[in-house]
Amino acid sequence: MSDTEVTRDAEAVPVPEEPAEQKALPAPEEPEPAFLYCPQCGEKMAVDQRYCTSCGWDAEEPDKEPPLLRREPTPSPRELGPPSDKNRLTALLLCVLIGWLGAHRFYIDKPGTGLLYLLSLGILGVGVIYDAVMLATGELEDGAGKRILHWQ
């Protein structure tokens, strides 16, 4: 009996010879996830996805009108309206120098809060700081509801 044969129950079975070099098989490629394009907006969608994330198109009821998913437009900045005729620099200087007496409040035609500032030392300084910041940014309004914007 030769080296390439092995006996099994009195029967000779040839033993396959091993190749000198084993070639590595390429790794199986992972399948790309299946997708489709939304017929309404062209956005990429997964096959198992029911609604388009962009326009709301329903894959199960394609003839149905898609809901509006987009947000309402953001409102425009508030209308400024006509500015006050009061001088912002004058009001700011009055606020910083003698704001605890409410002088800037009297100047911008708000005598009620001016008297309150006079009696409470500018609401203990917090009101004066608040008014100074609001004047510096142009957000404080005069007695007529007009913003104090002009520096001169």
For the stretch 15-73, pLDDT in tens is 666 655 666 666 666 666 677 778 777 788 887 787 787 777 777 776 666 555 445 55
Give the distance, in angstroms, between the CA of residue 135 and the centroid of all CA atoms in the same chain: 30
On whether residue 107 sits in a domain, the answer given is yes
Same domain, 57 and 105: no
The residue assigned the tokens 């098989």 is 25
On whether residue 5 sits in a domain, the answer given is no
Domain limits for position 39: 33-69
Same domain, 88 and 63: no
Same domain, 106 and 137: yes
Q: Domain count of the chain? A: 2
Same domain, 88 and 64: no
pTM for this predicted structure: 0.48
Same domain, 40 and 99: no
Q: 124-151 pLDDT, tens per residue?
A: 989 999 999 999 998 899 998 888 888 8
